[in-house]
Structure 1
Amino acid sequence: MRILIIEDEVILASSICDLLEDAGYDAEAVHNGAEGLEMARSQIYDLLILDVMLPGLSGIEVSTRLRAEKIGTPILMLTARSEISDKVEGLNAGADYYLTKPFESAELLACINALLRRQKDRVNEMVFGDLSLDLTAVSLACGGKSLRLSSKEFDVMRLLMQTGSSNIPKSRILDCVWGYDSDAIENNVEVYIAFLRKKLKSLESKVSIVSVRSVGYHLECGE
């Protein structure tokens, strides 16, 4: 499970990252609203932890924009303000739960687990053409055949399934799957695209990963 923390208090964000990684989650943090919004738009995260008071775009603005774009990633909103009106504003902006600072680690983990369970009950499969991606089993299936994916294969395939027939740039795949601070290069993307193409062929799927020079990749479903 991947969690994005959008929190401008660097020490707090780092502490939350450590807590989540100790609990078995894959966590990363950014410290301003604009960067957080851009990363959240990738839809590779299973949960967003979003502070209300952020430089640039506020947490309220980030949440509002994501929901306006029909991005349903669960949002746990954090704030130092405890007034009911503040909580109402956050929930109306699209947050799924509201946690007031300071909070206990156990309380944060309980909220995260509850939101992820709720999300898992709603969505556990993505479909494109004759192909289905099982988000729980981390597997790709077509007809009666199914193949397990590696972590990176799964993340790349999920991005492709999310964008479907729309092109996604190689650079965006690199940033979303390997991270903005990674030393990985675009050749890494090409390698995993090749792995996935072999798996699609093995599954005898009519779906193909199409490369458009200087533009990116997208999925197509043949006859």
Structure 2
Amino acid sequence: MRVLVVDDEPEMAALLSRGLVGEGYAVDVATDGIQAMTLAAAERYDIAVLDVTMPGMSGFELCRRLREQARGIAILLLTARDAVDDRVRGLDAGADDYLTKPFAFVELAARLRALRRRDAISPSSLDVGDLAIDLAGQRISVGENQVRLSRTEFDLLRLLVEHREHVMSRREILDAVWEAGTFVDTNIVDQYVSYLRKKLDAVGTSVRIVTSRGVGFRLTTEAT
């Protein structure tokens, strides 16, 4: 597993690098967003650990660019901010998880292991009703109509597919998709359900996400 660490503080970057190498990862370090994008263009990384507060390109912007450039990469943000708006902004930018400074390295290592488990899917594609799901490319399609999902949208869809016709509560979704449910407002679930519904509509599928008022959501292939 290859990890890209991006932090403009040399001591923190070196500390993270040493710790991750000790965990068995191959690690490259970048000190700013431009260098990180250059490395990501030349090397395939499984995980990126990004500091949010950097001069020039912020961790949020770098996250968005990596999500577009490096297909399938898992992204964890490191931030000294603990405001809900900043955490939501990071998740909206395409991050898979975040960790607030200061943190214990053992927690960082555990979160990276969780991201690796999330990637452990064997089939490359899946059909649900008329919807084709490209698990490797994180795309959905109906015939020639194709749309790419963000990583979080993809994880949400996969969860609903695995439990289709079963109502998943917001808390169950939060714990499964974000794996940090205690620290994230449940409203983020509704926000991503809305994003996913728009993309399902865009490909013209009959697959729908149904709201069970006061409970949660379920995926159905039943016609209205």
TM-score interval (norm. to shorter): 0.5 to 0.7
Q: Report if aligned partners of 2:78, 2:99 keep a CA contact under 8 Å in 1.
A: yes
Q: Distance in 1 between matches of 2:122 and 2:98?
A: 20
Shift of 1:122: 6.4
Q: Does 1:46 align with 2:46?
A: yes
Q: Report if aligned partners of 1:43, 1:73 keep a CA contact under 8 Å in 2.
A: no
Shift of 1:11: 0.3
Number of residue pairs aligned between Structure 1 and Structure 2: 124
Q: Report if aligned partners of 1:52, 1:58 keep a CA contact under 8 Å in 2.
A: yes
Change (3 A) 1:123 1:86: farther
Change (3 A) 1:42 1:49: same
Shift of 1:42: 3.7
Q: Distance in 2 between matches of 1:10 and 1:95?
A: 23
Unaligned 5+ runs, structure 1: 125-223
Unaligned 5+ runs, structure 2: 125-224
Residue matched to 1:32: 32
Amino acid in structure 2 at the alignment position of 1:24: G
Shift of 1:112: 0.6
- Across the aligned residues of Structure 1 and Structure 2, the Cα RMSD in angstroms comes to 1.8
Change (3 A) 1:90 1:122: farther
Q: Does 1:90 align with 2:76?
A: no
Q: Report if aligned partners of 2:80, 2:102 keep a CA contact under 8 Å in 1.
A: yes
Change (3 A) 1:46 1:122: farther
SS at match of 1:60: helix
Shift of 1:90: 0.3
Q: Distance in 2 between matches of 1:32 and 1:13?
A: 11
Q: Distance in 1 between matches of 2:42 and 2:23?
A: 24
Q: TM-score of the superposition, structure 1-length normalised?
A: 0.52
Q: Distance in 1 between matches of 2:122 and 2:112?
A: 16
Amino acid in structure 1 at the alignment position of 2:107: E
Q: TM-score of the superposition, structure 2-length normalised?
A: 0.52
Q: Report if aligned partners of 1:46, 1:74 keep a CA contact under 8 Å in 2.
A: yes
Q: Does 1:16 align with 2:5?
A: no
Q: Report if aligned partners of 1:52, 1:77 keep a CA contact under 8 Å in 2.
A: yes
Change (3 A) 1:69 1:27: closer
Q: Report if aligned partners of 2:40, 2:70 keep a CA contact under 8 Å in 1.
A: no
Q: Distance in 2 between matches of 1:123 and 1:106?
A: 31
Matches within 5 A, 1:139-150: none
> Which ranges of 4 or more aligned residues in structure 1 deviate by more than 6 Å?
none
Amino acid in structure 1 at the alignment position of 2:115: L
Q: Report if aligned partners of 1:5, 1:50 keep a CA contact under 8 Å in 2.
A: yes
Q: Does 1:104 align with 2:115?
A: no
Q: Report if aligned partners of 2:46, 2:72 keep a CA contact under 8 Å in 1.
A: no
Amino acid in structure 2 at the alignment position of 1:111: R
